[in-house]
Amino acid sequence: MNAGTTTDDEARMLASIPRLRRYARALAGNAVAADDLVQDTLARAWPRLSSCRGNGELLPWLFTIMHNLHADQVRRPRLLTVPIEEEAAAVPVRPRQHDNLELRDLEAALLKLPEDYRKVLLLVALENMPYAQAAEVLGWPAGTVMSRLSRARARLRVLLSEESPPVLKVAT
Amino acid sequence: MKDAPLSDADIQAYVDGALPAQRQAEVAAYLAGHPEAADAVRCYRAQNEALRALFDPVLEEKIPERLLQAARAPAGEHPSAARPRGFLPRWSSYRMAAGLLIAVLSGSAGWLANGQWHAARALAVRQVPVQFAHQAAIAHVVYSPDVVRPVEIGAEQEEQLVTWLSDRLNARVRPPRLGALGFELIGGRLLPGTAGPVAQFMYHDGRGQRLTLYVSGEQGRNAETAFRFAQEGPVNVFYWIDRNFGYAISAGIDKAELARVATSVHEQLAHKP
Taking CA–CA distances from A14, the nearest residue in chain B reads B71
DSSP codes of every residue in A1-64: --SS-HHHHHHHHHHHHHHHHHHHHHHHSSHHHHHHHHHHHHHHHGGGHHHHTTSS-HHHHHHH
Q: Which domains does chain B have, with CATH numbers?
A: 8-58 (no CATH), 87-270 (3.30.200.100)
Please tell me the distance in Å from A152's CA to the nearest CA on chain B.
10
**Domains observed in chain A:** 1-94 (1.10.1740.10), 96-172 (1.10.10.10)
Q: Give the per-residue pLDDT at B101.
A: 40
Q: What is the pLDDT of residue B263?
A: 87
B58-86 CB burial, b ≥16 within 10 A, e <16: beeeeebebbebbbbbbeeeeeeeeeeee
Contact B154, B186 (CB under 8 A): yes
CA angle B94, B212, B123 (to 5 degrees): 100
3-state secondary structure of B79: coil
Distance in angstroms (rounded) separating the CA atoms of residues B107 and A81: 15
**Distance, CA of B113 to CA of B120 (rounded, Å):** 12
Dist CA B199 CA B193 (whole Å):
9
Helices (H), A46-141: 49-52, 58-75, 84-93, 101-112, 115-121, 131-138
- Closest residue in A to B11 (Cα) is A150
Q: What is the mean pLDDT of chain A?
A: 78
Residue A70 to residue B55: CA distance in whole angstroms: 18
Band (pLDDT 50/70/90 cuts) for residue B221 is: low
- Any idea what DSSP says for residue B3? T
Amino acid, single-letter form, for residue B81: A
Top-confidence residue, A133 or B254:
A133
> What ipTM score was computed for the predicted complex, to two decimals?
0.80
- The pLDDT tens digits for B66-106 are 899 899 887 655 433 333 333 333 333 434 444 344 333 33
Q: Of B245, B258, B242, B25, whose CA–CA distance to B140 is shortest?
A: B258
Q: What pLDDT score was predicted for residue B38? A: 93
Please report the number of interchain residue pairs, chain A to chain B, with beta-carbon separation below 8 angstroms: 168
In angstroms, the Cα distances linking A84 to A58, A74, B148, B224 are: 36, 23, 11, 37
Give the pLDDT band (50/70/90) at residue B119.
Answer: very low
CB pair distance less than 8 Å for B40 and A13 = no
Look at residue A76 and tell me whether its pLDDT is greater than 80.
no
- pLDDT tens string B169-191: 888 888 999 999 999 999 999 99
Cα B219 from Cα B225, distance rounded (Å): 11
Count other C-beta atoms under 10 Å from residue B250's C-beta: 27
B199: Cα separation from own chain's centroid: 20
Nearest CA distance, B37 vs chain A (angstrom): 11
Q: Do A35 and B67 touch (CB under 8 A)?
A: yes
Question: When comparing pLDDT for B222 and A160, which is higher?
Answer: A160
